[in-house]
């Protein structure tokens, strides 16, 4: 028995209502970002506790001289240098990814035309 157009439209409306009621699940990438953020915050807190517990004076050998510095400043300096290196090493990958996305978008635009 063939269904009428009214029945088909009503059924499609009910399907849309059901899909609108259920909350969409967040993408996995967002979960991964949240996990990375939590891990980073825990590591930062541990680093701060570690640095605060090691604040005595130490002698460091620089390239042309030596200096008496609180160990806390050595740790913070090393952390900043490490963060800068990580940022600079990640830049080419981000740039390549951005170029790849632009190329895919251009190809997709060419297909639609």
Q: What is the pLDDT of residues 62-81, one digit of tens each?
A: 889 999 998 888 888 898 99
**DSSP per-residue letters across 45-60:** HHHHHHHHH---EEEE
Q: What is the pLDDT along the chain (113 residues), one digit of tens a residue?
A: 456 665 665 666 655 555 555 555 655 667 788 888 999 999 989 988 887 888 889 998 988 999 999 888 888 889 899 999 988 887 777 778 888 888 888 888 877 76
Residue in this structure with the two tokens 């979960």, named with its chain if needed: 31
Angle between helices 71-112 and 28-53 (to 10 degrees): 170
SS3 assignment, position 2: coil
E strands along 38-109, which residues?
A: 57-61, 66-70
Q: What distance in Å separates the CA atoms of residue 21 and residue 110, rounded to the nearest whole number?
A: 36
């Amino acid at each position: 028995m063939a269904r009428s157009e009214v029945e088909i439209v009503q059924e499609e409306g009910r399907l849309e209502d059901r899909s609108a009621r259920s909350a969409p699940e967040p993408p996995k990438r967002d979960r991964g970002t949240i996990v990375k953020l939590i891990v980073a915050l825990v590591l930062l807190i541990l680093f701060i506790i570690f640095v605060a517990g090691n604040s005595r004076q130490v002698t460091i050998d620089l390239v042309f001289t030596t200096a008496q510095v609180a160990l806390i400043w050595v740790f913070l300096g090393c952390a900043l240098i490490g963060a800068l290196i990580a940022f600079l090493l990640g830049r080419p990958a981000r740039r390549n990814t951005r170029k790849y996305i632009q190329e895919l978008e251009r190809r997709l635009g060419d297909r639609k035309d």
